[in-house]
Amino acid sequence: MYIRYIETKFKEFSLTQKLLIPPDKLREMRKRCQPIVKRLCELDMISETASPIAPNTSSTVVAVSDRYGFPIRTAICNHTGLIYLVDHFTQEAYSTFYKSGGYRDLITRFKNYQQTIEVVELAQRRYTQKLINILRDYLYKPVGAKLLDIGGSTGLTAKAFQDAFGYDVTVLEPAPNEVMAAKRLGINAVQGSIETWETDQKYDVILMCRTIEHVFDLPYTLVKIRQLLADDGVFFCDIVDYFDVCRREGPPQVTSKIDHKQWLCQENTPAILKTYGLNVKHSFMLAVDQIGYLTTLSETTYMEPMPTDWINERIRFFRQIESDWMAQPPSSFSEMVWRKIYPIKKKLIR
Q: Are residues 38 and 176 part of one domain?
A: yes
**Angle CA(95)–CA(96)–CA(99) in degrees, nearest 5?**
85
pLDDT above 70 (res 15): no
Whole-number Å distance between alpha carbons of 83 and 260:
10
State the pLDDT at residue 309: 98
User: Which residue range forms the structural domain that includes residue 232?
Assistant: 23-325
Q: Are residues 239 and 179 part of one domain?
A: yes
Domain count, the chain: 2
pLDDT above 60 (res 10): no
Please name the helix (run of DSSP H) or strand (run of DSSP E) that holds residue 235, with its range, or none: strand 229-240
Q: Are residues 235 and 222 part of one domain?
A: yes
Distance between the two ends of the chain, CA-based, in angstroms? 30
Q: Are residues 245 and 335 part of one domain?
A: no
Identity (one letter) of the amino acid at 236?
F
Mean pLDDT for the stretch of residues 208-231: 96
Q: How far is CA 233 from the centre of its chain?
A: 25
Confidence of residue 115 (pLDDT cuts 50, 70, 90): confident
Mean pLDDT for the stretch of residues 164-181: 94
Mean pLDDT for the stretch of residues 223-248: 97
Q: Are residues 224 and 336 part of one domain?
A: no
User: How many C-beta atoms lie closer than 10 Å to residue 146's C-beta?
Assistant: 18
CA distances from 42 to 45, 70, 246, 261 (A): 9, 12, 29, 18
Identity (one letter) of the amino acid at 153?
S
Query: In whole angstroms, how large is the CA radius of gyration of the chain?
Result: 22
Q: Are residues 229 and 88 part of one domain?
A: yes
Which segment of 14-23, 27-36, 57-66, 277-286 scores lowest on mean pLDDT?
A: 14-23
Whole-number Å distance between alpha carbons of 297 and 315:
33
Whole-number Å distance between alpha carbons of 272 and 301:
9
Per-chain mean pLDDT for the chain: 91
What b/e sequence results for 217-231 when a residue is b if at least 16 CB atoms lie within 10 Å of its CB, and e otherwise?
Answer: bbeebbebbbebbbe
Whole-number Å distance between alpha carbons of 333 and 10:
7
State the pLDDT at residue 343: 65
Q: Are residues 177 and 136 part of one domain?
A: yes
Whole-number Å distance between alpha carbons of 46 and 69:
17
User: How many C-beta atoms lie closer than 10 Å to residue 116's C-beta?
Assistant: 12
**Angle CA(295)–CA(269)–CA(236) in degrees, nearest 5?**
30
Whole-number Å distance between alpha carbons of 46 and 241:
25
Residue of 269, 175, 260, 190 lying closest to 222 (CA atoms): 269
Q: Are residues 141 and 8 part of one domain?
A: no
Mean pLDDT for the stretch of residues 335-344: 63
Q: Are residues 336 and 313 part of one domain?
A: no
pLDDT above 70 (res 350): no
Percent of the chain with pLDDT over 90: 80
CATH number at residue 126: 3.40.50.150
Confidence of residue 140 (pLDDT cuts 50, 70, 90): confident
Q: Are residues 215 and 289 part of one domain?
A: yes
Q: Are residues 333 and 320 part of one domain?
A: no
Q: Are residues 289 and 223 part of one domain?
A: yes
- Is the model's pTM score more than 0.85? yes
pLDDT above 60 (res 16): no
Percent of the chain with pLDDT over 70: 89
Identity (one letter) of the amino acid at 93?
A
